[in-house]
Chains A and B, each alone.
Chain A
Amino acid sequence: SQQGEEDPQALSIQEGENATMNCSYKTSINNLQWYRQNSGRGLVHLILIRSNEREKHSGRLRVTLDTSKKSSSLLITASRAADTASYFCATASEGAQKLVFGQGTRLTINP
């Protein structure tokens, strides 16, 4: 079954630096979505990228998708302490089908 896997599992950087997280998956997809989760809280939708797109931007977020390598990356520029959270990628094989989540990257921004 398709599976999103993020790396690194944990990332610690200084405030102001850029953070890059990667996600790989195994089967063909319709879309890939990134979520943020603060400790013990709900999942906040960040961005969706469709299989026919290569890059999307939203504020300080930049997502890329390489379907030939079955991988995606999430870049957070000019990181802030408030960006400290876990970040998950999730894939859908069809538009409205279930999401399959990866294990997530725990990002820590040090002030």
Chain B
Amino acid sequence: EPEVTQTPSHQVTQMGQEVILRCVPISNHLYFYWYRQILGQKVEFLVSFYNNEISEKSEIFDDQFSVERPDGSNFTLKIRSTKLEDSAMYFCANLLGLATTSSYEQYFGPGTRLTVT
């Protein structure tokens, strides 16, 4: 069964540094998302991406964040200048997005644990 993969599994960075989190979505899926989960808290939506542009973003997704699909397959989340409070598990998710019953299921990757020191 196809899976969403994410790299790296764990990233440690110093405050103020840039990080890029990578996701390889399930092929032929049309919608892409980033979520994050701060330790012990619930999963929070960051941004959705469809047809090569952002379709929705949350208040968390400020100017320090950006997303892109540089080569039509990988889906990346960049944090330009990390803060301590960016420490969290970051999840990529995909959705098939066709007009069929099962196509609204969002499939999540295993996550990248980001630690900002």
Contacts and interface: CB of A to CB of B under 8 A. Distances in A.
Contacts, number: 63
Contact of A98 (B33, B101, B107): B33
Chain B interface main SS type: strand
A42 B108 contact: yes
B25 interface: no
Interface residues of A, number: 25
A35 B37 CA distance: 14
A43 B45 CA distance: 14
B102 interface: yes
A88 B43 contact: yes
A101 B42 contact: yes
A102 B33 contact: no
B42 A96 contact: no
A45 B105 contact: yes
B109 A42 contact: yes
A81 to B, nearest CB: 22
Nearest to B108: A43
Nearest to B41: A103
Interface string A1-40: 0000000000000000000000000000011010100001
A97 B105 contact: no
Contacts of A101: 42-44
Contact of B111 (A35, A42, A88, A92): A42
Interface of A: 30-31, 33, 35, 40-45, 48, 50, 88, 90, 92, 95-104
Interface of B: 30-31, 33, 35, 41-45, 48, 50, 56, 58, 89, 91, 93, 95, 97, 101-111, 113
